[in-house]
Amino acid sequence: MKIYKFGGASVKSADGVRNLEKIVKTTDQQLVVVVSAMGKMTNALELVANSFFNKKSDTDTLIQKVVDYHEAIISELFGNSRATVDLLVNDLYDDLREIVSHKPSLSYDYEYDRIVSFGELISTTIIAAYLKQRGLEAEWVDVRRAIITDSNYREGNVNMEISAKLCNEAFTGKKLCITQGFIAGTVTNQTTTLGREGSDYTAAILANVLDAKDVTIWKDVPGVMNADPKIYKDVQIIPTLSYKEAIELSYCGASVIHPKTVKPLQNKKIPLYVRSFVEPEKEGSVICNYTKQINLPPIYINKRNQVLLSLTPRDFSFIAEERLSKIFGVLASYRLKSSLVQTAAISFSLCVDYNEVNFQKMVDELKDEYEVLYNTDVELITIRHYTKEIVDKLVGERLVYVEQRNRLTARFVVPA
């Protein structure tokens, strides 16, 4: 069995769906296709969730935008033979409207998950119906009854044991399954999600529990690149990477795969191919159990939208282990992720993914005990396999707030 994952950009239009069909047809092996929400529909549904939760008046208008987007794609794909798909998607639109016709509960995260999950539910419904109409033996599978998480809404923790059993029941023995990335369910059938951009992780979980031969992520880049081609011109493709290198890169902010994707694959030594849906004939990159020393070029990652925070205890006490564990506890409770930390005797600096609301709440909680200083609008530049030339080129004369180097990696916090 193979797993293919298609992200939102690959299925943002009718042409994208036709291209998916073309790629799916290139293999005659048993296949599970994991699909994200079409285009930017998760963002659009986040607006619906916010409007609903905050009892604003534009919820229906925002839902209509989501409906219109999908309807345009359906018209183009199905023409006049759309009766079957209409029945299915209309049910989903009705379900969504039904949710927002009631009062929201007190949990934002719970409401968020049950609303944004419609992006994946609708995209897979359209795609499965389309493939069937094209004569493929495609089966739509509701992943919420197969991948089971706890009720940590918006970042569900997967129970691999129960999921393994349910996934094997749901997917085994079927030629071609179409299922949702990013979403999951609890043991009591509540909808959860695995965190933004989590569809890669879904593909990896399925590969692990189904003992797939390999996973392919179809992307709008030709493979894993040594830098973001949207920012830099002279980038190159890296044909082979070890799991370790891949996990380091995604942790540093390389957007090529979701950081959680590597573990389930590494644990079963399942290779992960990253290939272009625009040029599917090209080989792309493979992330696998590669232990030999690979000579990699410098790989550089600009992690934007960071905030640099510095904490100094007001009573002049040392930043010792107990304090650190408390600080990290506070970070975790606001779901803020630190990407770099540096300690000194009585001060502690860290670079955090910026989320305005949660960040302010965290600062409020810390400021009684600490003097809190911060710079928003900073970026973290990470250079793996750095050379003097590349450091000069990327950092040069720029102001550097924090710098860290070890044998393989150099990191710089600079104003954005």
Token pair 């048993």: residue: 30
Give the phi and the psi of residue 242 in degrees, each rounded to 5: -80, 165
CA distance 296 to 302: 18
Does the footprint of ligand ASP cover residue 39 (CB under 6 A)? no
The amino acid occupying position 199 is: S
Name the residue whose CB lies closest to ligand ASP: 199
Contact flag: residue 259 with ligand ASP (CB under 6 A): no
Angle, helices 108-116 vs 41-53, to 10°: value is: 140
Rg (CA), the chain: 23
- Per-residue binder mask for Mg ion (CB under 5 A), 34-63, x = binder: --x---------------------------
Contact call for residue 198 and ligand ASP (CB under 6 A): yes
Residue 53 near residue 110, CB atoms below 8 Å: no
Separation of alpha carbons 315 and 354, rounded Å: 28
119 binds, options ligand ASP, Mg ion, none, Cβ within 5 to 8 A by partner type? ligand ASP
Which listed option, ligand ASP, Mg ion, none, makes contact with residue 185 (CB within 5 to 8 Å by class)?
none
The site partner of 181 among ligand ASP, Mg ion, none (C-beta below 5 to 8 Å per kind) is: ligand ASP
Among 10, 16, 34, 36, binds ligand ASP (CB under 6 A): 36
What residue type is 17 in one-letter code? V
Q: Is 231 exposed, middle or buried (0-12, 13-18, 19+ CB in 10 A)?
A: exposed
Residues 107-166 that bind ligand ASP (CB under 6 A): 119
Q: From the CB of 119, what's the least distance to ligand ASP, in Å?
A: 5
Binders in 5-24 for Mg ion, by CB under 5 A: 7-8
* From ligand ASP, Mg ion, none, interface partner of 16 (C-beta below 5 to 8 A by class): none
Residues facing residue 352 across a β-bridge = 307, 338
Q: Which of 195, 173, 184, 104 is nearest to 142 (CA)?
A: 184
The nearest distance, CB 182 to ligand ASP, in angstroms, is 4
| Binding segment (CB under 6 A) for ligand ASP, from list 190-198, 266-274, 275-283, 313-321 | 190-198
Contact residues for ligand ASP, defined by CB under 6 A: 7-8, 36-37, 42, 119, 181-182, 196-199
